[in-house]
Structure 1
């Protein structure tokens, strides 16, 4: 039995049932980057400038689009063009949580147009697995215009102090993911790998880890951090950094450092040379 954590991104891309995961692994391999930048910026101009300058060094650009004060079609089209220009995926960390009928409207056709531009969106199963059923139904319907191009990440753990996303909740997230369509449910936002299974079984979950810092220090609001090496060694596939990059004195230099650290850790985990 071969476990995902021992395989390269290229090997996982070749076998993965999820088309978004295949694209993601191929991007990571081509760019030698498992870096996700979380751009918590509040204006379209600053958001697009960040995506353009950091685009060459990242695999994924993560947004909280509801904080963009002047969100419009310019925001949407700008993100899509830059994702194509620099070859990265867009992850809207919306953390959808509501009854199924509501999240379908929030995701597809709502004011934020999430399904139009975000390759990946996050959700919480706090309200039950009906939310996943509803979004899978939306994404797999024959009339969905981006069928095969959109995926879901389940928020299974958080890095904030006192988080209730632990133990039973996290275990339930894994159970929900195992029961769902592997071509839509990509994996988890978590501090470590939550489930390692035979890739041939089709349950190769991708792990995104937030709170990544080269210094492993937290912040005054209770966020706990870990280094790229720590996260990757614990099974993270993609590391998410925010202010350590976009708020750095020279963001591009910071992005390079995070990219190099994440890639080095990945090579050590898979026992492969660059």
Structure 2
């Protein structure tokens, strides 16, 4: 890990400077958000219930810029698109200023990943700003997700208005002739002027139209007193973003150099959709590369102990490194922390500690 690569200009640039040349609108937004909150921390919210997820997001939200979720491991997920868990997460994201990253690791043929992204009960694309893909099926999966996101984007700023009108009409049978005319809503039947009985037919007209919506719809607020948008920055853009899983922190993984290079090539081919990578180091190498890098497997030693770069693993193949090593030496931009915060006695205080250490490592990197 942390190969001896030539130092890329992005390693010395501030997030504010990199935002100006970012090729993806969400990357631009995220980097400006990082500067505003002075945070490059992502919480991996590996809890087991939707209630825990919402509680943790609310408590830790002030310290993070990204919330990473696994919706399929949560009990009690509410799939209602207006009032369910996804809508509530977006309300919290708006309140505290963070993006939502569903760690779906799409890894199937193109048609299947499109359906997993945009359809089904969860409709991930509606509430997650960012998703990721495992490149094992090849570059076609990236292309398929990009097409799905573009189609969604073309429709998301329009909402369907449906109107239903119902009128009564009188049916008269006269020597085999059937006629209709508009009528007030009567009783079960009525007599016409000539004494014949007329039956009443209900005519229902359904009209749908698409009307433009000026701003993203993130669902209802958690509390009426909450601010609509985190102070100092606008709502995130409509666009969705993709991270490519290029490297992993687990022992014995099969993501070799050839695989990682294919990930970089796919990212360069889809700069309008690919934000960057989940990786263990910066993969920017070409002069025009401006990708963002997010790294899991980050942990701090107990408060008061020296931060020497590595921390003991979890016994299940996960290797841990400190923010100083990942951000300062390996050049990653965002650290992803899960159990180090979730299992802490005071997750809120521990998130603030990780935020401070990671931001200090970033400041040191750009100043050297």
Fold agreement, TM-score > 0.5: yes
Residue 248 of structure 1: CA displacement?
0.4
Task: List gaps (5 residues or longer) in structure 2.
Answer: 1-6, 158-236, 302-310
Question: What is aligned with 1:243?
Answer: 339
Matched-pair contact (CA < 8 Å) for 1:4–1:196:
no
Quick check: which one's helix share is greater? Answer: 1
Q: After the TM superposition, which residues 1-274 of structure 1 pair with which residues of structure 2 at under 5 Å, given as runs?
A: 3-72=9-78, 73=80, 74-141=84-151, 143-145=154-156, 148-180=238-270, 182-198=271-287, 201=288, 203-215=289-301, 216-233=311-328, 234-271=330-367
Q: Distance in 1 between matches of 2:145 and 2:244?
A: 12
1:112, distance to aligned residue in structure 2 (A): 1.9
Shift of residue 144 of structure 1? 4.2
Which sits farther off after the overlay, 127-136 or 161-170? Answer: 161-170
* Contact 1:158/1:165 (8 A) holds in 2: yes
Computing the radius of gyration over CA atoms, which structure comes out larger, 1 or 2?
2
Query: What is the alpha-carbon distance in structure 2 between the residues aligned to residue 144 and residue 160 of structure 1?
Result: 39
Deviations 1:60-79 (A, max 9, x none): 00001110121113211110
- What TM-score, normalized by structure 1, do the two folds share? 0.94
CA-CA distance at 1:214 after TM superposition: 0.7
Deviations 1:114-150 (A, max 9, x none): 1011110010110111100001111123634278421
- Structure 1: unaligned runs, 5 residues or longer: none
| Distance change (3 Å), C-alpha of 1:249 and 1:173 | same
Report the Cα distance in structure 2 between the residues aligned to 1:92 and 1:228, rounded to whole angstroms.
22
Superposition deviation, residue 104 in structure 1: 0.5
**CA–CA distance in structure 1, aligned partners of residues 155 and 8 of structure 2:** 35
Could you give the per-residue CA deviations for residues 47-66 of structure 1, whole angstroms, max 9, x where no partner exists? 00000000000010000111
Secondary structure (helix, strand or coil) at the match of 2:131 reads strand
**RMSD between aligned alpha carbons?**
1.6
Work out the CA distance in 1 between the residues paired with 2:10 and 2:156.
31
Please give the secondary structure, in 2, of the residue aligned with 1:170: helix
- Could you tell which deviates more after superposition, 113-122 or 64-73? 64-73
Distance in 1 (CA, whole Å) between partners of 2:36 and 2:154 is: 32
Structure 1 window deviating more from structure 2 (215-224 vs 244-253): it is 215-224
CA distance in 2, matches of 1:110, 1:153: 22
Moved over 4 A (4+): none
